[in-house]
Each structure stands twice: as structure tokens, then as C-alpha cells.
Amino acid sequence: MSEAKAKAGLQDVVAGDSSICLVDGKEGRLVYQGYDINDLAGKASFEEVVYLLWYGKLPNVSELSALDAALKQNREIPSDVLELVKSLSNSAANPSGMEILRTAASYLGAVDPNKAMDRETHIQQATKLVSMLASITAAVGRFKQGKEYVAPRNDLGHAANFLYMLTGQEADELSVEAFDVALILHADHEFNASTFTARCTVATLSDMYSGVTSAIGALKGPLHGGANEDVLRMLMEIDSVENAATEVANKLENGVKVPGFGHRVYRSYDPRGLVLKRYAKQLTEKVNNTKWFEMTEITEGVVLEHFAKKGKDLKYNVDLYSGSLYNAMGIPVELFTPLFVISRVSGWTAHILEQYANNRIIRPVADYVGPVDQKFVPIAERN
Ligand SMILES: CC(=O)SCCNC(=O)CCNC(=O)[C@H](O)C(C)(C)COP(=O)(O)OP(=O)(O)OC[C@H]1O[C@@H](n2cnc3c(N)ncnc32)[C@H](O)[C@@H]1OP(=O)(O)O
Ligand SMILES: O=C([O-])CC(=O)C(=O)O
């Protein structure tokens, strides 16, 4: 039995070394491989950030063009995968976008004949996952709306191609920029629940697809990635700018946790939320669809006042403002958490590569609080 006491939720426990991402919760700062996200968002492309996370440096022109070509080669969804995704999307069980993605990631692993465990293979698999999970998410969006699959276009960047595959139309410049920035902002976040899950899975020397499949399962929950859908669902349920303040205040009064607020690490603002809020304001105004943004701002005011009164140093997180932004791009709510996957798969795979490079199985201990020395009673004699 261990003498050490467990920390609930492993709060503040240092669980390993990593050089991929720094989350400075006190200062509200997020840094990928040494670069502040504010210096990347809107200046670099998502593809450059993927390279940065995997290789630890920003790519030069030829390095970026090699990655770009490899991503484009993996955009088209093979027919068996497309059939699977279509039948799940139309299934009477109505699986969520996240359930379909989790199944698709697992299926991609099962049908990949290359089971080698070397870095080159892992980079190829990571490239396939980053590219194809985006195409699959767009296909899910199409099928769930009763529409036909739209094939990818190789003259478009990753963000623009996704929006094209989802809507069948080339998106405007601001939407592409905002979506590219959202992908960058969600790309990595140190040892968050889904990334840590991925690392635990592959630390047994299981394969990359298993790591990503288990990470998708972890991201799906409403305390993690699922919160971005819950924010807009909550606002849609309230459905009134006038009633938003009272209804949110009632929720807090009744001890309901409001999605899009609170964070295990950030004690200052979440720097990603600030950028997303700016883009959400700009885009919702441009497309003249400001209702959800206005309601989000009202919610922000009510919840922050509530936290302040209670002396809690909590703010809004990355999931608060993405909803009104994605909605202004015409993206349905049930794709919001899958959008998180499209981005975070770059961080998961970076962490998987880092774990493989210096692996030791992850196996903490439990503080056993159950009974000991029970006397065995044969089944026939039990009450
Ligand atoms: C990408 C991401 O994963 S970002 C997070 C996305 N998740 C959400 O937005 C869901 C809502 N938020 C939460 O559930 C939590 O804040 C989490 C899961 C993010 C962090 O959880 P923890 O670090 O365990 O904090 P915990 O849940 O203990 O909260 C601390 C206190 O703040 C309160 N609190 C935290 N978040 C919220 C919230 N969103 N609304 C109201 N109160 C909250 C808790 O009730 C608790 O109060 P208490 O001390 O009086 O009991
Ligand atoms: O870091 C966390 O715990 C959750 C989070 O914000 C993320 O994964 O982006």
C-alpha cells in the first residue's frame, strides 16, 4: 500500500516531461515549441503548426510543401471508409459525429497493412489521420444533412478544403482565416485529458490509431471537448437575447456548471478564447448573424460576475466563443466537437511521437481505500 495520498483529478501533478507545448495558467499564455500562439494565429497556416508540433521547428518552404503534398494525397476518403461513414451517419441509432469519428479512426487502423512501429511509419499514419479525419468530418456533416459527399480539392489549403467539402462552396476569405486560426488554437494543450489518454495508450507500445481512437473517446465528454457543442445547445434552448442573463443566472443559482467556463490550469484568461472572441465578433457581424454572439457575451458577463462574487479565479475557456463563430460559418452544432478532433489530432500525434521516442509504460498507483482481509464465503452460503 502506498503512503502517498492521491490528488483528486491529479490536479497539479507533474506526470512527465514534454517539449511540445507550454500552458502558463497564471499568465494566461500558450506556447507551441517556443512560439506564442498569438504569434502563430493569423500568421502561420495550420499546416505549418502541424509541422512545428511534429518536428519541433517551423518548416522552410520545401519542408512545408512536402507536408502539404502528403496531406493532400490523403484527402480522398477510400470507398470502404466512405461507405462506413455514410451508413453510420444514416443509422437509426443516430450516432454523434464524435462516435462516428471514433469508429472511423479505429477502422483506419484496422485496414492499414503497415503495422511497423518506426518513426517514418508513424509520421505517415499521423499525416493520414490529420488529413482524413477532416475529410471524414465533412462527409459526416454532408450525410447527416441528407446531402451527397463532396470530393476534396487539391488547390485549396487544409482549412479552405474542409469548408469546401462541408458546404460544396468555396468559403469567403474571412471564414477561411478564422477557421485556420481555430485549428491552430485547438492544436495542442499539454497533458489535457485526451492527450494524456493517447499517451497512456501508446506507452504500452500499442499503435498510433489506438492512441488517437482512445483520445477521441476522451475528448467527446462534456467536461472536455464536448463543451463547445453544449454552449450553443444551451443558448439555442434559451433562444432569447432578452432572457439570457436571467436564465444563465438561474442555472448558476441551481448549481449547474455552465459550459465554456472554468479550467483546470488557467487561473487567468484562456488566451485562445480571447482570439476566438475577436473572430466570432468580426464574422457574426459580417454575416449579420449576431444573436448567438450577443447571448454568449451576456453569458460571459453573468458567469464572470458570479465567479468574482464567490472569489473564484475562473474565466471562460476555449469552448465559449467557438460556437457562435462556427455557426456563422454555417457549421452544424453536432460537428463542433469533431472540429476539435480535426485540430487536436495534430497535437495527439505529436505527443504520441514524443512518447514513442522516450517510452516508459505509464502506470501510477492507486491509494487503496477498500476493505482488506475479507473472509471468503462459498456462493451457496452467501445471503
Ligand atoms: C477544451 C477543454 O477541455 S476546456 C474545458 C471545457 N469544459 C467545460 O467548459 C465544462 C464546464 N467546466 C467544468 O466542468 C470545469 O471547470 C472543468 C472540468 C473544466 C475543470 O474542472 P476542475 O478543475 O475539476 O474544477 P472544478 O469542477 O472542481 O471547479 C472548481 C469550482 O469552480 C466551479 N466551477 C467550475 N467550472 C464551472 C462552470 N463552468 N460553471 C459554474 N461553476 C464552475 C465548481 O463548481 C467548483 O466550485 P466549488 O469549489 O464551489 O465546488
Ligand atoms: O487543458 C485542458 O485541461 C483542457 C483544454 O483546455 C484543452 O485540452 O484544450
What pLDDT, in 10s, does the model give residues 149-173? Answer: 999 999 999 999 999 999 999 999 9
Phi-psi region of 177 (alpha: psi -120 to 50; beta: other; left: phi over 0): alpha
Report the CATH superfamily, name and number, of domain 227-328: Cytochrome P450-Terp, domain 2 (1.10.230.10)
Q: What is the pLDDT of residue 5?
A: 84
**Domain segments of the chain: what residues?**
17-223+334-357, 227-328
Residue 149's SS3 state is coil
Maximum separation of any 2 CA atoms in the chain, in Å: 76
* Ligand minimally distant from the alpha carbon of residue 251: 1
Any catalytic annotation for residue 263? yes
Contact 53, 32 (CB under 8 A): yes
How big is the CA angle at 257 (ends 251 and 261), to the nearest 5 degrees? 115
How far apart CA 351 and CA 354 sit, in angstroms, is 5
List residues bridging with 31 in a β-sheet.
22, 36
Closest CA to 270 of 313, 303, 333: 313
ipTM beyond cut 0.85: yes
DSSP 8-state assignment for residue 373: S
Given a cut of 90, whether residue 197 has pLDDT beyond it is yes
Residue 238 or 3, more confident: 238
Is this model's pTM higher than 0.90 or not? yes
How far apart CA 213 and CA 382 sit, in angstroms, is 42
Confidence at 313, pLDDT banded by 50, 70, 90: confident
Strands 21-24 and 35-36: unpaired
For the Cβ of 262 lying below 6 angstroms from any atom of ligand 1, the answer is: yes
Our measurement of the distance from residue 193's CA atom to the centroid of its chain's CA atoms, rounded to an integer in Å, reads 11
User: What percent of the residues of the chain are helix, what percent strand, and what percent coil, each to the nearest 5?
Assistant: 60, 5, 40
Given a cut of 80, whether residue 3 has pLDDT beyond it is no
Q: What is the pLDDT of residue 1?
A: 55
How big is the CA angle at 98 (ends 341 and 155), to the nearest 5 degrees? 50
From the candidates 180, 306, 319, 351, which is the catalytic residue? Answer: 319
Given a cut of 80, whether residue 23 has pLDDT beyond it is yes
List residues bridging with 30 in a β-sheet.
23
Mean pLDDT of 304-309: 95
DSSP 8-state assignment for residue 26: T
Q: Hey, what's the cell of 100?
A: 462516428
DSSP per position, 225-251:
TTHHHHHHHHHHHH--HHHHHHHHHHH
Compute the residue count for the chain: 383
Among 23, 196, 223, say which to mutate for ligand 1: greatest number of ligand atoms within 8 Å of CB.
223
For the Cβ of 318 lying below 6 angstroms from any atom of ligand 1, the answer is: yes
Mean pLDDT of 23-48: 97
Q: What is the mean pLDDT of the chain?
A: 97
What pLDDT, in 10s, does the model give residues 117-128? Answer: 999 999 999 999
Give the position of cell 456563422: 328
Any catalytic annotation for residue 319? yes
Q: What is the pLDDT of residue 296?
A: 98
How many angstroms separate the alpha carbon of residue 315 from the centre of ligand 1?
10
How many angstroms separate the alpha carbon of residue 343 from the centre of ligand 1?
23
How far apart CA 42 and CA 320 sit, in angstroms, is 20
How far apart CA 97 and CA 336 sit, in angstroms, is 9
| Consecutive H or E run containing 22 | strand 21-24
Closest CA to 342 of 133, 107, 77, 179: 133
Q: What is the pLDDT of residue 2?
A: 57
Report the CATH superfamily, name and number, of domain 17-223+334-357: Citrate Synthase, domain 1 (1.10.580.10)
Closest CA to 208 of 114, 112, 125: 125
How many angstroms separate the alpha carbon of residue 23 from the centre of ligand 2?
9
Tell me the chain's radius of gyration from C-alpha atoms. Answer: 22
Given a cut of 80, whether residue 4 has pLDDT beyond it is no
Contact 313, 27 (CB under 8 A): no
DSSP 8-state assignment for residue 306: H
* Ligand minimally distant from the alpha carbon of residue 261: 1
